[in-house]
C-alpha cells in the first residue's frame, strides 16, 4: 500500500472547487482510493470538510482560523507540511490556481518536496512519480521525474476529469497553528474587488474562452465578442492590441505578457495570431478562429476556421448559439 | 529602497523549437537567449520604483551558464540596473526551478534587499516556482500575481494589487518581502546605445552555485516532446453568415464535442 496523498482543497462558495475535485481524482489514481486525505484552511474549513466525504475522502485535516483566508503562502505551507507529516503523506496534490502553485513552490523548500506545476498527467512508475506538463506556452511538453521521498504537484486547470462522487463519512482532525513567524501575519489584505467581468467565469478558470483582437476595430464593437461569450457562458479575453488600445483593461489580455489559458474551447475573433498571443492559448483543446484574412497565422493553430467578416459572422453565431441552447 | 530583481535567460519567443539528441530537453543549438516576458517586466517595475523613490538602487541577479546569463545581466544593466551578480552554473546542467532558487538565494542574501522582485514565470519552463521557493529560503513573505506595485514611504508599506481567481485583491505589506509580478502592465523601456556600451564594462560580481550533490535539483526532465504539427484549421464553407453559424455550432456539438 502506498503512503497517503494529501489533497489541499480550495473552496468556491463554500464547496470544494473544481480544481480540488480534479486533485482528488489524481491523488486517488496514483496513491489509491483509500489513501487520500483532505486538507482545508480558513474560517469555513470545518464546515466544508464534509464535502470531501462526497468524493470518497474519509479523513480531513482542518486549520480553522479566519486569518488563513488571507494568509501568505509561507503560512499555509507550514500548516500543510505539518498536516502532511501527521499522516505520513509522501505526496501533496493541489488544483491549478494561484494559491495552488504558490503552495507547491513553498513546499519545495519547506517540506523538501520535488515539485511540478501545470501538470497534465501524473504517473507512478517503477522509478517514481513522473509528471507531464506543457512548456513554452504549450508549444512543447516535458515529462519530469520527481526524485526523492516527497513530491508536491499543482495540476493544470481542466486537464483532468473531476472525481466521481462516492459518499463516505468524514473524520475531521485539527492542525495546530503554532510556530508561524509573527512577521508572516503582518501583510494585510485590504479588500477584494470581484472582477468586473459580470457574472461570467474568470479567464484562467473558464472551460470556454472567447477573445477579441484588433479586428473588432473599436472599444464599442468589443461588445460583439462579449455577447458571443455570454451566449456560451464563456470568459472574455483579448489580444494585446485590444488592451494596449485601452478598449478593455489589461486583465483581459491573453498571451505572453498576459494570462495563459487552456480551456476546452477557445474562440478567437478578429485575432491574427501573433506568437505572443499564441503562447497564451495554443494548449486549448479546441480552437476556433474567425477572421477575414485567410492567411492569418491563427488559422494554422486553429481546429476550425471561418474566413469572413466578423461583424456579420459573430452576431449570427451568437443568435444561433442562443437558439440551440434555448436562451 | 534596495531592490533586487531576479532574471533568467530564456529562448527568444520566435525560437523554432527542436528536441535535443538525448530527447530530454530543448536543443540549445542556435537558440538566441534573451531577457524577455515577465522578467523584462520585472526589471521595468524595479526601475519605476527606483525612479519614484530617490536614493533607491536596483541590483539584478541571475543563475545560469555562460554566455547567456552574463548577456541578460548586461542587458538589465543597460536598461538602468545599478549592479549585477551572476551565479555561474556549469554548462549542460539543467537546474530545476528549486535548484535555481537555492543558487539565487545565495546571491540575494549577500546583497542589501528590502524588496526582491521576480517575474511570474519563465517563458521556457513556465514553472512559476522560483519566487515561492526563494521567499521560503530567505524567510520572508511573498506575493504572486502582483499588479500595480507602489511604495508608500510615509507608512513604510508596499501597496499593490493581486489578480487571483477571487478577483482583484488589494494588499499592503512591510518589507522585506518578495513580489512575483503578474504581467507587463508597464511597457518595458529599451536600452540606449551609450548605456549598452557602458554596461559592457560594468563589473559583474560572481557567486558560486549551491553546492548540492544533485545540481539539477529534485526533479529531472526525462522526455521533451513537440506536439504533432497542427494541420491547420478545417474551414467552414458557407454562403451566408447564418449558414456559417449553423455549421460551426454543428461541428462543435457533434465532432469536437465542446458545445456547452
Phi first, then psi: give them for residue B222, nearest 5 degrees. -110, -10
Q: What is the dihedral of CA A135, A141, A142, A146, to 10 degrees?
A: 80
Q: Is residue B108 part of a domain?
A: yes
The domain that holds B161 is classified in CATH as 3.40.50.620
Q: Are residues B249 and B147 in the same domain?
A: no
The answer to whether B99 and B67 have CB atoms below 8 angstroms apart is no
Which runs of E-coded beta strand occur in B78-217? 83-88, 115-119, 142-152, 157-164, 167-173, 177-181, 205-207
A141 CB within 8 Å of a chain B CB: yes
Q: Which residue, among B102, B241, B255, would best test binding to A if mutated, counting the most A CBs under 10 Å from its CB?
A: B241
From the list A97, A251, A305, which residue is nearest B233 (CB)? A305
B41 CB within 8 Å of a chain A CB: yes
Whether A257 shows a pLDDT value over 80: the answer reads no
What residues in A contact B246, CB-CB < 8 Å? 320
Q: Is residue B215 part of a domain?
A: no
CA-angle at A111, arms to A85 and B104, nearest 5°: 175
Q: Are residues B192 and B256 in the same domain?
A: no
Q: Is residue B220 part of a domain?
A: no
The answer to whether A215 and A308 have CB atoms below 8 angstroms apart is no
Fold of domain A208-325? Rossmann fold (3.40.50)
Question: Closest approach of chain B CAs to the CA of A256, in angstroms?
Answer: 6
Which has the higher per-residue pLDDT, A198 or A315?
A315
Q: Are residues B43 and B119 in the same domain?
A: yes
Q: Are residues B197 and B151 in the same domain?
A: yes
What residues in B contact A307, CB-CB < 8 Å? 235
Q: Which residues of A73-110 are buried (b: 16+ CB within 10 A; e: fewer)?
A: bbbbbbbbbbbbeebebbbbbbbbbbbbbbbbbbbbbb
Average pLDDT, rounded, for chain B: 92
DSSP string, A120-186: SEEEEETTEEEEEEEEGGGTEEEEEEE-SS-EEEEEPTTSSPPPPPB----EEEEPP-----GGGG-
From the list B142, B226, B242, which residue is nearest A72 (CB)? B142
Residues 5-34 of B with CB under 8 A from A: 11, 13-14, 17, 25-26
What's the complex ipTM? 0.91
Smallest CA-to-CA distance from A296 within A229, A222, A239 is with: A239
Q: What would the mean pLDDT of B131-149 be, rounded to a whole number?
A: 94
Whether B137 shows a pLDDT value over 60: the answer reads yes
Count of domains observed in chain B: 2
Whether B186 shows a pLDDT value over 70: the answer reads no
Q: What is the pLDDT of residue A230?
A: 94
Q: Are residues B134 and B34 in the same domain?
A: yes
Whether B220 shows a pLDDT value over 60: the answer reads yes
Residue A43: strand, helix, or coil: coil
Q: Are residues B236 and B157 in the same domain?
A: no
Q: Is residue B214 part of a domain?
A: no
Q: Are residues B137 and B28 in the same domain?
A: yes
B246 CB within 8 Å of a chain A CB: yes
Which chain A residue has its CA at the smallest distance from B16's CA?
Answer: A139
Question: Is A307 within 8 Å of B170 when comparing Cβ atoms?
Answer: no
Residues of chain A with CATH 3.40.50.1220: 208-325
Say which range, A110-114, A224-228, A255-259, B137-141, has the weakest mean pLDDT: A255-259
Which has the higher per-residue pLDDT, B166 or A173?
A173
At B185, is the pLDDT very low, low, confident or very high (cuts 50, 70, 90)?
low
Structural domain span for residue B256: 229-260
Q: What is the pLDDT of residue A88?
A: 97
At A199, is the pLDDT very low, low, confident or very high (cuts 50, 70, 90)?
low
Q: Are residues B251 and B199 in the same domain?
A: no
What residues in B contact A288, CB-CB < 8 Å? 248, 252
What residues in A contact B219, CB-CB < 8 Å? 114-116, 131, 144-147
The domain made up of A5-185 is a member of CATH 3.40.50.620: yes
Q: What would the mean pLDDT of B46-58 be, rounded to a whole number?
A: 96
Residues of chain A with CATH 3.40.50.620: 5-185
Q: Are residues B57 and B109 in the same domain?
A: yes
Q: Are residues B200 and B157 in the same domain?
A: yes
Dump pLDDT digits (tens) for A27-75. Answer: 999 999 999 999 999 999 999 999 999 999 999 999 999 999 999 999 9
Q: What would the mean pLDDT of A86-101 be, rounded to a whole number?
A: 96
Say which range, A18-22, A196-200, B158-162, has the weakest mean pLDDT: A196-200
The length of chain B in residues reads: 260
Q: Are residues B145 and B235 in the same domain?
A: no
Q: Are residues B105 and B181 in the same domain?
A: yes
Dump pLDDT digits (tens) for A127-163. Answer: 899 999 999 878 899 999 999 899 999 999 888 888 9
Q: What is the pLDDT of residue A240?
A: 93
A327 CB within 8 Å of a chain B CB: no
Q: What would the mean pLDDT of A111-134 be, rounded to a whole number?
A: 95
Question: Is A74 within 8 Å of B135 when comparing Cβ atoms?
Answer: yes
Q: Is residue B17 part of a domain?
A: yes
Q: Is residue B72 part of a domain?
A: yes
Q: What would the mean pLDDT of A78-93 be, rounded to a whole number?
A: 97
Q: What is the pLDDT of residue B184?
A: 57
Q: What is the pLDDT of residue A197?
A: 46
Amino acid at each position: 500500500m502506498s503512503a497517503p496523498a494529501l489533497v489541499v482543497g480550495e473552496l468556491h462558495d463554500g464547496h470544494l472547487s473544481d480544481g480540488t475535485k480534479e486533485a482528488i481524482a489524481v491523488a486517488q489514481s496514483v496513491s489509491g482510493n483509500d489513501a487520500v486525505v483532505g486538507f482545508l484552511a480558513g474560517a469555513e474549513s470545518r464546515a466544508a470538510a464534509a464535502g470531501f466525504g462526497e468524493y470518497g475522502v474519509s479523513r480531513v485535516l482542518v486549520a480553522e482560523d479566519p486569518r488563513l483566508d488571507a494568509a501568505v503562502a509561507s503560512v499555509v505551507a507550514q500548516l500543510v507540511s505539518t498536516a502532511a507529516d501527521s499522516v505520513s503523506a509522501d505526496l501533496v496534490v493541489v488544483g491549478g490556481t494561484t494559491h495552488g502553485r504558490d503552495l507547491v513552490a513553498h513546499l519545495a523548500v519547506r517540506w523538501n518536496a520535488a515539485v511540478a506545476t501545470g501538470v497534465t498527467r501524473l504517473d507512478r512508475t517503477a522509478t517514481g512519480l513522473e509528471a507531464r506538463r506543457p512548456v513554452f506556452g504549450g508549444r512543447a511538453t516535458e515529462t519530469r521525474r520527481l526524485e526523492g521521498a516527497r513530491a508536491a504537484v499543482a495540476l493544470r486547470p481542466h486537464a483532468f476529469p473531476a472525481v466521481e462522487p462516492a459518499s463516505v463519512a468524514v473524520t475531521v482532525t485539527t492542525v495546530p497553528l503554532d510556530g508561524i513567524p509573527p512577521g508572516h501575519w503582518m501583510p494585510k489584505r485590504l479588500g477584494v474587488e470581484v472582477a468586473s467581468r459580470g457574472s461570467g467565469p474568470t479567464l484562467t478558470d473558464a472551460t470556454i474562452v472567447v477573445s477579441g483582437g484588433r479586428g473588432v476595430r473599436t472599444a464599442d464593437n468589443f461588445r460583439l465578442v462579449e455577447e458571443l461569450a455570454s451566449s456560451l457562458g464563456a470568459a472574455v479575453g483579448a489580444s494585446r492590441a485590444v488592451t494596449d488600445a485601452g478598449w478593455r483593461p489589461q486583465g483581459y489580455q491573453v498571451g505572453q505578457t498576459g494570462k495563459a489559458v487552456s480551456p476546452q474551447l477557445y474562440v478567437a475573433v478578429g485575432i491574427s495570431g501573433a506568437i505572443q498571443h499564441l503562447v497564451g492559448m495554443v494548449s486549448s483543446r479546441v480552437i476556433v478562429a474567425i477572421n477575414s484574412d485567410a492567411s492569418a497565422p491563427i488559422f494554422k493553430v486553429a481546429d476550425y476556421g471561418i474566413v469572413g467578416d466578423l461583424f456579420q459572422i459573430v452576431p449570427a453565431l451568437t443568435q444561433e448559439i442562443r437558439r440551440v441552447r434555448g436562451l | 529602497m534596495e531592490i533586487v530583481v531576479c532574471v533568467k535567460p530564456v529562448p527568444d519567443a520566435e525560437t523554432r523549437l527542436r528536441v535535443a539528441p538525448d530527447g530530454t530537453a530543448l536543443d540549445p543549438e542556435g537558440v538566441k537567449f534573451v531577457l524577455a516576458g515577465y522578467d523584462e517586466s520585472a526589471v521595468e517595475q524595479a526601475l519605476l520604483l527606483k525612479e519614484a523613490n530617490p536614493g533607491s538602487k536596483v541590483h539584478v541577479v541571475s543563475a545560469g551558464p555562460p554566455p547567456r546569463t552574463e548577456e541578460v545581466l548586461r542587458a538589465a544593466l543597460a536598461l538602468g540596473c545599478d549592479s549585477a551578480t551572476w551565479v555561474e552554473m556549469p554548462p549542460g546542467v539543467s537546474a530545476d526551478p528549486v535548484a535555481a532558487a537555492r543558487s539565487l538565494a545565495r546571491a540575494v542574501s549577500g546583497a542589501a534587499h528590502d524588496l526582491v522582485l521576480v517575474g511570474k514565470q519563465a517563458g521556457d519552463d513556465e514553472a512559476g516556482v522560483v519566487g515561492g521557493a526563494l521567499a521560503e529560503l530567505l524567510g520572508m513573505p511573498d506575493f504572486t500575481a502582483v499588479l500595480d506595485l507602489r511604495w508608500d514611504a510615509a507608512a513604510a508599506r508596499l501597496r499593490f494589487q493581486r489578480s487571483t481567481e477571487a478577483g482583484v485583491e488589494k494588499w499592503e505589506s512591510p518589507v522585506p518581502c518578495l513580489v512575483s509580478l503578474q504581467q507587463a502592465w508597464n511597457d518595458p523601456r529599451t536600452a540606449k546605445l551609450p548605456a549598452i556600451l557602458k554596461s559592457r564594462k560594468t563589473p559583474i560580481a560572481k557567486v558560486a552555485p549551491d553546492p548540492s550533490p544533485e545540481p539539477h535539483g529534485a526533479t529531472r526532465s526525462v522526455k521533451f516532446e513537440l506536439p504533432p504539427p497542427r494541420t491547420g484549421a478545417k474551414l467552414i464553407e458557407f454562403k451566408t453568415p447564418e449558414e456559417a453559424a449553423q455549421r460551426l455550432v454543428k461541428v462543435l456539438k457533434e465532432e469536437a464535442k465542446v458545445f456547452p
